[in-house]
Structure 1
Amino acid sequence: MSYFSTLCVYFLMVLNPIMTNTITEDIDVLVFLPQNNSYLFSHTRVAPAIIYAQQRLQADGGRYSGFQFNIQFENSDFVNGALYMLVDRSCGNKPDLILGPVCEYEAAAVVRLASHWNIPVISAGALAVGFSNKNAEYSHLTRIAPSYVKMAETFSAMFEHFTWKSALLVYEDDKEERNCYFTLEGVYHLMADFNIKTYAFSHEDRLDTDDIFQNMYDTEVVIMCTGADKIREIMLAAHRRRLTNGSHMFFNVELFNASSYGNGSWKRGDKYDNDARHAYASLNTVTLLRTVKPEFENFSMEMKKSMKKAGFHDCKDCESVNMFVEGFHDALLLYAIALHEAMKSGYSKRNGTEVTSRMWNRTFEGIAGHVSMDENGDRNGDFSLMAMTDVEAGTYEVVANYFGENGTFQLLPAFRMDHFTLRGKYKALTEIPEKTCGLGVSALTGVIVGAVLGTAMLIAFYFFRKNYRITIERRTQSEECATGKHRQLREDSIRSNLSAA
């Protein structure tokens, strides 16, 4: 009887979490975020979102309230700093979950090691094309923010819809984080079937707009990724050259829902504002689809309060929640869902492969709305296309949306087909100032002048040759006559001498 009672108690203990749908577990979470607030994903910006998610998950009576998250934040300001910290942790207990790093170069090293140690990694970064290969070294990486290739799907859908064939990718390369390089690498990688050219410039060098426009000669679409001020400089120069008359499509990529990478803002309060407003009438912006979900509004308010509490008062990018803040919140939620399922099926939190696989190819409700993860562990991205719909006011509206989960391109009421129709392409290009090579206006003028001068020279040469020929013929006749007389005199002289002999 005692044995039977003990057995019953044992089964009740095992089955109780399943019956109550609550599982108790301590989870060690290691978070890599930089302390430097110049990063859009700094500790000051992102940590409040992770704590917010932790509190929601551990709310009384919730399905995941039995999970006790022990969160440790580590600085990832320095190259390889996150990797060294993770290696140091190997001497003690390894973490059950790693959040971050964001930067590609740091993330690569950490994810390789974590995959070897069977530790799930979730990042709102590591967005470059190279991380898409999850077969080996990045096998435990889940990307909770849309990668650059997912953003590129928006352009691919537009090219198919509007039958565009060619593009010039213009980007600023800082040689450090290289956000714009990796962004347009995604476009280049996905759109290999189109005629794609690239033009890169350093943020330290003077922007050579003449060189950019020379490279535009045989392309229809210009896709730019650079700072907001550089975007304005390019568009003003394009407007002066009459390249904003519909001869080309201009696009700007607004990265991470942050204005530092250009948000269609033409106004600076200077003497060029009026020209900029008309130039930006031809500039379209691709950005992440924003939500107006009430829950997200509450989350945004809390994040702003956290910024102010941390003394982050003068922050131009803190008006709206960027994708890193949102992403890291959803990362903890996604892990809780996957771990709960795995443990209900009898797996341990230490089985990183199993937990990771349950985060892939699924959907759930994130803080901003519906989140869809593909079968490769990457979040499907929803993006908006913005265009200036009121030129006099200089205001933008969302005119189309792209939904990554099903690959659909939705046109909204504000969309105007004529705005996205190419016209007068090559006429505009003849007004590009000519440089040292290529055929522009000055070269064409030179050819015409050269042809006229050449014709004049040929005519002159013809008359000169004709007159010269007449003179030669006359001179020849005279010389032949004189020669005949000399010959006759010689012959007469010879005969006289012979006669005398």
Structure 2
Amino acid sequence: MILSDVLLLSLVISSSSSSSSPRLHNFPLLPIDIVVGLPTEEGDRGKNPFLLTLAKSRPVFDVALQDVYHLNILPYGAIKVTFENSALSDAIGPQKMIEHYCNKTVDAIMGLPYVYALAPIARISKFWGQGVPVFTTTALVDELGDRNEFPLLTRMMGSYKSLGKLVTRIAERFEWQHYFFMFNDEVARGPRNKGRSECYFSLSAIKNLIMNNKTSTWNVKMFSEFEADRLQYRALLSEASVMSNLIILCASPDTVREIMLAAHDLGMATSGEYVFINIDVSTGSHAEQPWIRANDTNNEENEKAKEAYRALKTISLRRSDLEEYKNFELRVKKLADLKYNYTNITGKDYEMNNFISAFYDAVLLYAIALNETIQSGLDPRNGHNITSRMWGRTFVGITGNVSIDHNGDRYSDYSLLDLDPKQNKFVEVAYYSGASNQLKTVGELHWVGGKPPTDLPICGYDKSKCPQGYPLHVYLLMGSFLLILVLVGLFIFFWRRYKLEQELAAMSWKIRWEELDGEESQKKEKKKAKKRKNHDGYLPESDPLLRSTSRSSVNSDKVGFSCSRHLEIRG
């Protein structure tokens, strides 16, 4: 009751002076302790796939706190941030967090990029006092989405389920049913007591969705990019070539380039029968010309890689193009050099990525929930209450609207990038919106051969199923089809001819052909008429046969005359 009265009194005082920032002494339960566990070095990429370090994150937290105070979300000094080296260890990282709990100097935990160090802390934090919220900008694996086991874990980059939805949506659009996964995992080198790679977790999310579709099939091949070479990639691709036209890759940018060069050597990248999808979530580089390597001894290798990349599509987390984000990035880079001397210490320029910038949204979201809790007169150290206020809400972050679902996962957006031959660079052609659960097209996809590959051609993608040509049944079908075409053509021809004759027979004005012969026909008719006239007038000289017949007739007359005369005499 006393606590409630004190908080209400502080709210009255703060509201009466809205033009000025609230003062820390009005909030006796402040400051709130945030402990950030990150490595000092990038270290093993298998443990730190998103390349988070303390040096990269410090200026992001500074800028986030500046904005929290500037926007009067919390009074100046209300949040205290302590940085600890987690050493990318599943022993050292958790131990540092436990020490802070024992010393009562932790109210929220952020970081721990090594998933095997994060999992135990996210599992036990619910038992610490009233609960300690845990924030991660990595840990996209499906297993960490179980809120019965990890009830206070908020994932500021969401989960790989959104990635799986994007891949399956693309496959459905082009009617691809067969998947072949090729990815880097140190397990391929044998049991070495190492955890699984981020590629394994990301592709597992895709596979889990594929398994819900009974008509889809999938095959998996792992390799260690520390041991594999182009010869091994060729062997893996040759195996994939008779199983699927959709080959999904996950590895470092240099390894992906080697795989695509191997695909070019086999003709798979230039045949138009295959499509390669590169899952580039961990780097999020959005490189416009990823095929170029300045250290190549000759330009021919770069040109071959460019030709191979025409068959490659890349999926990466979508980047914000807002001016606010660009200004934020400039502020962070400037602070990194001025306050922390980042470039001189590390020997390279500061590089921002989505997983580092997400710490800004984590601090902002936590500050908003703290403000609402304090305004409601509740304990800001009650992790369960704070967490419930952060889930199922949308707020304006540095990348625009940030939506957290009721499971504590951010709705993530993913970009589909393709090589534009006109611009000679990879550009965004589509993106998946996690909030709307839609695949939206913003550009044109380009395909080798001018059209997307078909699913399972008759002879296989590499024609290996038809070494002597097409199978017998294909030729039989083709012959039957041609025979049917010929028969249909003959039927049409004779049917039209029959109909034409029927039409001519029905015409009432039809005349004899002889009447169309003209003058020559008339001459012939005159000759025939003259012959008939001569025959009627008994002109024996006109015909030899008639002349002989005429003589016979005359002689017959003479004989007849004689006989009659003789009869007359005798009579």
Work out which of the residue numbers 251, 258, 262 in structure 2 matches 1:226.
251
Q: 1:121 to 1:42 in 2, by over 3 A?
A: same
Check whether the contact 1:168–1:216 (CA below 8 A) recurs between aligned residues: no
Residue 30 of structure 1 corresponds to: 35
Question: Which is further off, 194-203 or 275-284?
Answer: 194-203
TM-score for the superposition, normalised by structure 2: 0.69
Residue of structure 1 in register with 2:173 after alignment: 161
Aligned CA distance change for structure 1 residues 314 and 90 (closer, same or farther; 3 Å):
closer
Question: Which amino acid in the other structure matches residue 33 of structure 1?
Answer: L
Letter of the 1:57 counterpart: V
Q: What secondary structure sits across from 1:45 in the alignment? A: helix
CA displacement, residues 294-314 of structure 1 (integer Å, 9 cap, x when unaligned): 221122113323444222564
Q: Which runs of 5+ in 1 are unaligned?
A: 1-7, 433-438, 446-501
Aligned to 1:184: 203
1:53 paired residue among 34, 40, 64: 64
- 2:105 counterpart of 1:79: no
2:166 corresponds to 1:140:
no
Q: Which amino acid aligns with 2:279?
A: V
- 1:42 is aligned to 2:53: yes
**Residue-by-residue CA offset, 1:470-492 (whole Å, 9 max, x unaligned):** xxxxxxxxxxxxxxxxxxxxxxx
Match of 2:264 in 1: 239
Summarize the Cα distance change of 1:18–1:342 in structure 2 as closer, same or farther, 3 Å threshold. farther
- Measured at CA, do residues 69 and 397 of structure 1 come closer, stay the same or move farther in structure 2, by a change above 3 Å? same
Query: Counterpart of 2:236?
Result: 211
1:361 aligns with 2:361: no
Summarize the Cα distance change of 1:429–1:165 in structure 2 as closer, same or farther, 3 Å threshold.
Answer: closer
CA distance in 1, matches of 2:455, 2:160: 32
Q: 1:408 to 1:113 in 2, by over 3 A?
A: same
Say if 2:419 is the partner of 1:388.
yes
Counterpart-to-counterpart distance in 1, 2:95 and 2:7 = 43
What does the per-residue CA deviation read over 1:22-49, in whole Å, with 9 as the maximum and x for residues that have no partner?
6733111111011114451100111210
Moved more, 210-219 or 366-375: 210-219
TM-superposed CA distance for 1:420, in Å, is 6.3
**Pairwise mapping of residues 79-478 of structure 1 onto structure 2 (< 5 A)?**
79-117=90-128, 118-135=131-148, 137-174=149-186, 175-176=194-195, 178-192=197-211, 193=213, 194-207=216-229, 208=232, 209-244=234-269, 245-259=271-285, 265-268=290-293, 269=296, 270=298, 271-308=300-337, 309-310=341-342, 311=344, 314-315=347-348, 318-319=350-351, 321-390=352-421, 394-416=424-446, 421-423=452-454, 426=457, 427=459, 429-430=461-462
Aligned partners of 2:416, 2:184: CA distance in 1, in Å?
22
Separation of aligned partners in 2, 1:10 and 1:58: 19
Instruction: Give the paired residue count.
Output: 426
**Alignment partner, residue 497 of structure 1:** none
CA contact (8 A) 2:287 2:426 kept: no
Secondary structure at the aligned position of 2:260 is classed as helix
- Deviations 1:141-192 (CA, angstroms, capped at 9, x unpaired): 0000132222222112212322221211111013457121112122112322
> Distance between the aligned counterparts of 2:10 and 2:369, measured in 1?
22
Give 1:278 deviation, angstroms: 0.9
Compute the displacement of 1:414 (Å).
3.3
Q: Which has the larger radius of gyration?
A: 2
Query: Considering only aligned residues, what root-mean-square deviation do their CA atoms show, in Å?
Result: 2.9
Q: TM-score, normalised by structure 1?
A: 0.78
CA distance in 2, matches of 1:176, 1:26: 37
User: What's the secondary structure of 1:58's corresponding residue?
Assistant: helix
Distance 1:354 1:363 in 2: 17
- Greater shift, 233-242 or 404-413, is seen at 233-242
- Cα distance, 1:221–1:430 mapped onto 2, change above 3 Å: closer
Deviations 1:221-278 (CA, angstroms, capped at 9, x unpaired): 111110112111111121222222221221111124444x987611124331121111
**Which shifted more, 201-210 or 13-22?**
13-22
Q: Is the 8 A contact 1:28 1:97 kept in 2?
A: yes
Moved more, 214-223 or 50-59: 214-223
- Per-residue deviation at 1:133? 0.5
Identity of aligned residues (%): 28
Q: Name the amino acid aligned to 1:398.
A: E
Shift of 1:390: 0.7
SS class of match (1:142): strand
- In 1, the alpha carbon distance for the partners of 2:203 and 2:288 equals 17
Distance 2:431 2:263 in 1: 27
Q: 3-state SS of the aligned residue for 1:386?
A: strand
Deviation sequence 1:312-352 (CA, Å, 0-9, x none): 56447x44x21221111111001011122222223211211
- Distance of aligned partners of 1:336 and 1:143 in 2 relative to their CA distance in 1, 3 Å threshold: same
Whichever residue aligns with residue 326 of structure 1, its letter is S
C-alpha contact 1:222 1:248 (8 A) present in aligned 2: yes
Distance (Å, rounded) in 1 between the aligned partners of 2:408 and 2:139: 12
CA distance, structure 2, for counterparts of residue 361 and residue 328 of structure 1: 19
Match of residue 459 from structure 1: none
Taking the aligned partners of 1:84 and 1:409, their CA distance within structure 2 comes to: 43
Contact 1:247-1:425 within 8 A present in 2 as well:
no
After superposition, the Cα gap between the structure-2 partners of 1:314 and 1:428, relative to the gap in structure 1 and judged at 3 Å, is: farther
Whether the 8 Å contact between 1:49 and 1:329 is mirrored in structure 2 is yes
